[in-house]
Amino acid sequence: MPTLPTTVDVTSDSYRANRAALEAAVALVDEQLALARAGGGERYVARHRERGKLPARERIELLLDRDTAFLELCPLAGWGSQFAVGASSITGIGVVEGIECFISANDPTVRGGAMNPFTFKKGARGSDIALANRLPTINLVESGGADLPSQAELFIPGGRAFRDLTRQSAATLPTVALVFGNSTAGGAYVPGMSDYIVMIEERSKVFLGGPPLVKMATGEESNDEELGGASMHARVSGLADALAVDEPDAIRLGRQIVSRLNWRKRGAGPSQPADPPVHDPDELLGIASADPKVPFDPREVLARVVDGSRFDEFKPLYGASLVTGWGSIHGYPVGILANHRGVLFSQEAHKATQFIQLANQIDVPLIFLQNTTGYMVGKEYEQAGIIKHGAQMINAVSNSSVPHLTVNIGASYGAGNYGMCGRAYDPRFLFAWPNARSAVMGPAQLAGVLSIVGRQSAAAKGVPFDEEADVAMREMVEAQIEAESLPLFLTARLYDDGIIDPRDTRTVLGMCLSVIDNQPITGTRGYGVFRM
Partner 1 sequence: MTPPIPHIVTPIRTLLIANRGEIARRIMRSAHAMGIICVAVYSDADADSPHVAEADLAVRLVGFSPADTYLRIDLILDAASRCSADAVHPGYGFLSESGPAARAVNGAGLVWVGPSADAIDAMGSKVGSKELMRTAGVPTLPSITVIGDVVPTGEEVDSLGWPLLVKASAGGGGRGMRIVPGPEDLAEALSGARREARSAFGDDTVFLERYVKDPRHIEVQVLADRYGDTVALFERECSIQRRHQKIIEEAPSPVVTAELRARLTEAALSASRAVGYENAGTVEFVLDEHGDPYFLEMNTRLQVEHPVTEAITGLDLVRLQLLIASGAALPPEVHAAVDAGPVGHAIEARLYAEDPASGWLPSTGTLHSFEIPIGGPQSGVRIESGVELGSVVSPHYDPMLAKVIVHAPTRDEATSTLAATLDGSRIHGVATNRDLLVRTLRHAGFRRGDTDTGFIDRVGLGNLAEPLADRAATERHALAAALGAQAQRRSQARVQPHIPTGFRNSPSALQVSTFDSHHGVVAVGYRFDRFDRSGQRLDQVEIDGTPVDVRVVSAEPGMVALTVENITRRYRLERVGRTTYVDGSDGSSVLVEHERFPIPGSQVAPGSSLAPMPGGVVRVAVAVGDEVEPGQLLVVLEAMKMEHAIHASAAGTVSEVDVSVGDQVETGQVLVVMMVTMVMEDSES
Query: DSSP state, 449?
Result: H
Measured from the CB of residue 403, what is the shortest distance to partner 1 in angstroms?
16
3-state secondary structure of 519: coil
CA distance 426 to 281: 27
Q: Does residue 134 touch partner 1 according to CB under 8 A?
A: no
Figure out which of the listed residues 8, 36, 198, 352 binds partner 1, where binding follows CB under 8 A: 36
Nearer to partner 1, 195 or 501 (CB): 501
How does DSSP assign 340-365, residue by residue? SSEEE-HHHHHHHHHHHHHHHHTT--
Nearer to partner 1, 35 or 441 (CB): 35
Give, as ranges, the residues between 243 and 272 that touch partner 1 (CB under 8 A): 245-246, 248-249, 251-252, 255, 265
Inter-helix orientation angle 160-170/151-158, to 10°: 20
Q: Does residue 65 touch partner 1 according to CB under 8 A?
A: yes
Q: Which segment (53-61, 102-110, 284-292, 478-486) binds partner 1 by CB under 8 A?
A: 53-61
Cβ–Cβ under 8 Å, residues 239 and 272: no
Q: Which segment (17-25, 280-288, 382-390, 447-455) binds partner 1 by CB under 8 A?
A: 280-288
Q: Does residue 507 touch partner 1 according to CB under 8 A?
A: yes
Cβ–Cβ under 8 Å, residues 438 and 402: no
Q: Are strands 137-143 and 99-106 parallel, antiparallel or unpaired?
A: parallel
Nearer to partner 1, 160 or 252 (CB): 252
Nearer to partner 1, 142 or 501 (CB): 501
CA distance 217 to 324: 65
Q: Does residue 202 touch partner 1 according to CB under 8 A?
A: no
Phi, psi angle pair for 272, to nearest 5°: -120, 160
Figure out which of the listed residues 9, 23, 220, 282 binds partner 1, where binding follows CB under 8 A: 282
* Among 104, 101, 131, 91, residue whose Cα is nearest residue 255: 101
Could you tell me which residues come within 8 angstroms of residue 489 by beta carbon, excluding any fewer than 6 positions away? 79, 80, 483
Q: Does residue 399 touch partner 1 according to CB under 8 A?
A: no
Measured from the CB of residue 63, what is the shortest distance to partner 1 in angstroms?
10
Length of the chain: 532
3-state secondary structure of 430: strand
**What letter represents residue 7's amino acid?**
T
Give, as ranges, the residues between 72 and 111 that touch partner 1 (CB under 8 A): 72, 75, 95, 98-100
Nearer to partner 1, 240 or 391 (CB): 240
Measured from the CB of residue 281, what is the shortest distance to partner 1 in angstroms?
7
Binding site for partner 1 (CB under 8 A): 33, 36-37, 57-58, 61-62, 65-72, 75, 95, 98-100, 245-246, 248-249, 251-252, 255, 265, 274, 276, 280-282, 330-331, 498, 500-501, 503-504, 507-508, 510-511, 514
